[in-house]
Amino acid sequence: MIRSAHREEAAAVSELAFRSKSHWPYTPEQLEVFRLELTISQAQLIEKRGHVFEGQGELLGFYTLAVLNESDVELEHIFVEPEALGRGIGSQLFDHACETARDSGAKVLVIQSDPNAAGFYHTLGATLVREIPSSIPGGSIPYFTYPLASPAEA
């Protein structure tokens, strides 16, 4: 159900990301601020290890990762289709992203969360480290970390 994304799926996942972000109560002006960061090129989708969740031939969600340094990888995008929310797809994508990051040798997953999604990361056991400035002027967003290595390996 979860597989590597194909480069031709870049436009489809970008549109999915925008629909998914629009599920939260943002104004059209605020959503336009996010459009650039939600638009993923074909090259980025491959470089950022994009993976999609497919159900009955439909793309229902995806994630991408960005390597920050030797130990940290950022969960850059994780989005589920609005009609498929609350069915466990997000947590399956999260677990898969952790495996992908772990396989590349990362020790910590970093998440700059949408404030509306903070409860999701909290439920999955991530640690809220601090608030950081949002793309929306004057706003802030939670910054989480999630350990990928066991304490003995870290």
**Residues forming the site for ligand COA (CB under 6 A):** 20-21, 23, 78-80, 85-91, 113-114, 116-117, 119-120, 123
DSSP 3-state of 63: strand
Min CB(148)–ligand COA separation in Å: 18
Nearer to ligand COA, 61 or 106 (CB): 61
Cα separation of 7 and 92, whole Å? 22
Cα separation of 72 and 74, whole Å? 7
Strands of 68-126 (E only): list them: 72-80, 108-112
User: How many beta carbons lie within 10 A of that of residue 30, not counting itself?
Assistant: 15
Min CB(112)–ligand COA separation in Å: 7
Min CB(153)–ligand COA separation in Å: 26
Min CB(86)–ligand COA separation in Å: 5
Nearer to ligand COA, 104 or 123 (CB): 123
Nearer to ligand COA, 23 or 96 (CB): 23
- Which of 47, 48, 63, 65 shows the shortest CA–CA distance to 2? 63
* Encoded tokens for 92: 């399956």
Cα separation of 115 and 26, whole Å? 11
Nearer to ligand COA, 79 or 146 (CB): 79
